[in-house]
Amino acid sequence: MPRHSSLVFVFIFAFLFLTFLAALTFPTFGSAQTDSDRPFSRFGIAIKASLLGAGLEAATPLTARSDLRAGFNIFSYDHTFKEDGVAYAGQLRFRSVEAHYDWFPFHGRFHLSPGVLLYNGNQITANSSVPAGNTFTLNNTTYVSDPSDPISGTGKLEFVKAGPMFTVGWGSLLPHHRHFSFPFELGVIYTGAPRTAINMGGSACDSTGQNCLDITSNSAFQSNVQAEQNKLNKDMSAFKFYPVISAGFGVNF
């Protein structure tokens, strides 16, 4: 799906989400609303761990059967590895903000939660290098890193900046007659297919170590870089949804 189509999809979902929220909130049929269920009459906060990272979230009631919940997540991880003669120093950075409408259809702990990932700053970046005189492979072509101008580069994998999500869960941040809760939920986020960008600099020689050229002006080398990038994007084109599993501990007041 093209990037502009993904954004249109997000905006349509956001509109439907707000319509759904309004329809369920005003009024809630068959539910007697107490003072503790009135909009913004109470607040709950929680810490959680999920596939989006460590998070903090807050919730407030909207009706006897629904809550409004929002939070943010953060996670960082660094890893070095080597592949096809290229050394990589990778950084995983998860940064996200989410909002949910928690609907409790049976007056119990079970809830359905349409939501929006308002900000998706999740990305993977890497710095690459090939030691002088070492061989490496790019798009099935073997090169030698020029001893006088070794190969280096950067790479990035990122997602669309916002997307719809849907989860089901057990537990509320605002349980009645209790001040503590242990919420758990699972679901999916539409993130669109991740996209990669590869940039490389330096000089490369042929497999015999001869005919060294600056790769920025070497059309054959740049073509292989583009081919490698296209291959990565194609391999990841099917991964348009990201799973959500989270568990937390909350307190309300």
How would CATH label the architecture of 3-26+42-252?
Beta Barrel (2.40)
> Of 47, 31, 96, 40, whose CA–CA distance to 67 is shortest?
40
Give me the tens of pLDDT residue by residue for the chain, a chain 253 residues long.
Answer: 444 444 455 545 554 555 555 555 544 444 455 656 788 888 999 999 999 999 999 999 999 899 999 999 999 999 998 887 788 899 999 999 999 999 999 888 999 999 999 999 999 999 999 999 999 998 889 999 999 999 999 999 999 999 999 999 999 999 887 889 999 999 999 999 999 999 999 999 999 999 999 999 899 999 999 999 999 999 999 999 999 999 999 999 8
Calpha distance 186→246 (Å, rounded): 6
Residue 110: strand pairing partners: 170
Instruction: Provide the residue ranges of all domains of the chain, joining segments of one domain with +.
Output: 3-26+42-252
Q: Chain centroid to CA 28: how far?
A: 33
